[in-house]
A and B are shown apart, each in its own frame.
Chain A
Amino acid sequence: MLLAEVEYARPSTVEGAVRLLSSHAGARPLAGGQTLTNVMKARAAAPDVLVDLNDLEELRQISRTADGGLELGAMVTLSELIRSPDADARPILAEVAAQIADVQVRNRGTIGGNICSNDPTNHLPPVVAALGATMTIRGPDGERTVTAEEFFVGVYMTAVAPGELMTKLTVPAADGARDGFASIPIGRDGTCICNAAATVEDGQARIALGCVAAVPVVLSSTAEEDAVREAVRGADLDPPSDVHASDDYRRHLAEVVALRAVQQAAG
């Protein structure tokens, strides 16, 4: 539909953005807009101020870290990620980004946006949780880095407080670890009914289940089928019921996608 009245600013520095976000109650960062504009059209949220991050070149960088990991600016678009040769450090990121929606959405949608909106059906939260990635948050009081567990707090809620913004995602080097992702979307590249990401190293798997709880559910197990199934069942999931899946069906799918993610990782 149509947005309510809102004020708008487009700072050219991260400091400027933080200043705007922290000095205006009801200010929200505008990244790719592929989620926020729709939320505002439905008037499910009505921020007073939109702080447009699209001029912040500092947040658009992709680089390798010294130890072979990956640093991705929060404003890197999904298309930029897919195209980036550096992203090869952890190929699963680009592979999953390529499954999100469509090319128009990927051209504007950002890594930061997908992670910070923390819609339980989003693709990147389970991926970054499984990879053991960390998120850097900058606010008026400075910068801090948190783990995925600390970052994802609740449905649509993250550790990014009002007045702050996520600046980058740091992904550890693969170092022999291999990653996998499996999902059951509605139609090709549609909304996920259930998804899971996994990182396997030396026969040990870290699995992150999406779509089944407010935040990604992170499990550890060995990479054998029985162990993975056991781990998922042991998580005592209480997934939501909706038009696409009952809680029972989602619970069942969680086990399937977890296993497939691990199997893809284990190779």
Chain B
Amino acid sequence: MEPVRGQRITVEVNGERHERDVEARRLLVHFLRDDLDLTGTHVGCDTGNCGACTVILNGVAIKSCMLLAVQADGTSVETVEGLSPDGELHPLQEAFSSFHALQCGYCTPGMLMSAKHLLDHNPEPTEGEIRRAIQGNICRCTGYVNIVEAIASAAKGGRR
């Protein structure tokens, strides 16, 4: 095996298979945004702190700015664009809107993916568990108050 400068990768994103040639150094977040035109996942920082780039890879929430696209070869990735495949909003998306859990909307995709990951693994989280689940997602607009309420409401399957 020899190291390569770039390679052809196959990534399944929101159920759709994509094959592309990428440089080894390309970050997954830029692969999604620039190569696949899935601009819902955002970049907010340089140090992996803000979580705006959060996606779910093989069922696990990760920050896509700290993964190389080549590392996603052969994996299945879920992004915000996959939450409402037929145009019908996911309960989390509905709840975020009902509870005014977004203002500028920039952190929202990452926040939704972290919330989805939480509810996929813990359908009835406490408030503390919700906050812990989104601890890696910075929001500068909302103070997190309504975000926590929205996630709690989506967990109970209800809405305001």
Check A-B contact in the complex, CB < 8 A.
yes
Binding site for B on A (CB under 8 A): 1-11, 16, 20, 24, 27, 30, 33-34, 37-38, 41-42, 49-52, 54, 79, 101-105, 107-108, 188-189
Q: Is the CB of A4 within 8 A of B2?
A: no
For residue B2, which residues in chain A have a CB less than 8 angstroms away from its CB? 9
Q: Which of B1, B23, B54 is A20 in contact with, Cβ under 8 Å?
A: B1
Q: How far is the CB of B155 from chain A (nearest CB, A)?
A: 16
- The docked-state distance in angstroms from the alpha carbon of A42 to that of B66 is 13
Known: A9-B2, A11-B1. A108 touches B62 (CB 8 A): yes
B contact residues, total (Cβ < 8 Å)? 32
Q: Which of A2, A105, A107, A188 is B25 in contact with, Cβ under 8 Å?
A: A2
> 8 A–B contact pairs at CB < 8 A?
A2-B25, A4-B25, A8-B24, A33-B71, A34-B48, A52-B70, A105-B48, A107-B60
Binding site for A on B (CB under 8 A): 1-5, 7, 23-25, 27, 46-48, 51, 54, 60-63, 65-68, 70-71, 114, 117, 132-133, 135-137
- The docked-state distance in angstroms from the alpha carbon of A131 to that of B111 is 37
Q: Is the CB of B25 within 8 A of A54?
A: no
For residue A38, which residues in chain B have a CB less than 8 angstroms away from its CB? 46-48, 66
Known: A6-B24, A38-B66. A49 touches B47 (CB 8 A): no
For residue B54, which residues in chain A have a CB less than 8 angstroms away from its CB? 104
Known: A8-B3, A37-B65. A3 touches B27 (CB 8 A): yes
For residue B7, which residues in chain A have a CB less than 8 angstroms away from its CB? 8
- The docked-state distance in angstroms from the alpha carbon of A8 to that of B133 is 32
Dominant secondary structure of chain A at its interface with chain B:
mixed
Q: How far is the CB of B149 from chain A (nearest CB, A)?
A: 20
For residue B48, which residues in chain A have a CB less than 8 angstroms away from its CB? 34, 37-38, 105
Residue with the greatest number of chain B CB neighbours at <10 A, chosen from A6, A9, A103: A103
Q: Is the CB of A49 within 8 A of B5?
A: no
Q: Which of A16, A24, A41, A50 is B46 in contact with, Cβ under 8 Å?
A: A41
- The docked-state distance in angstroms from the alpha carbon of A33 to that of B65 is 10
Q: How far is the CB of B45 from chain A (nearest CB, A)?
A: 10
For residue B1, which residues in chain A have a CB less than 8 angstroms away from its CB? 9, 11, 16, 20
For residue A41, which residues in chain B have a CB less than 8 angstroms away from its CB? 46-47
Q: Is the CB of B135 within 8 A of A188?
A: yes
Q: Which of A5, A10, A34, A50 is B23 in contact with, Cβ under 8 Å?
A: A5
- The docked-state distance in angstroms from the alpha carbon of A9 to that of B70 is 9
Residue with the greatest number of chain A CB neighbours at <10 A, chosen from B7, B24, B51, B60: B24
Known: A8-B3, A37-B48, A41-B46. A108 touches B24 (CB 8 A): no
- The docked-state distance in angstroms from the alpha carbon of A108 to that of B62 is 7
Q: Is the CB of A104 within 8 A of B114?
A: yes
For residue A37, which residues in chain B have a CB less than 8 angstroms away from its CB? 27, 48, 65-68
Known: A2-B25, A9-B1. A108 touches B66 (CB 8 A): yes
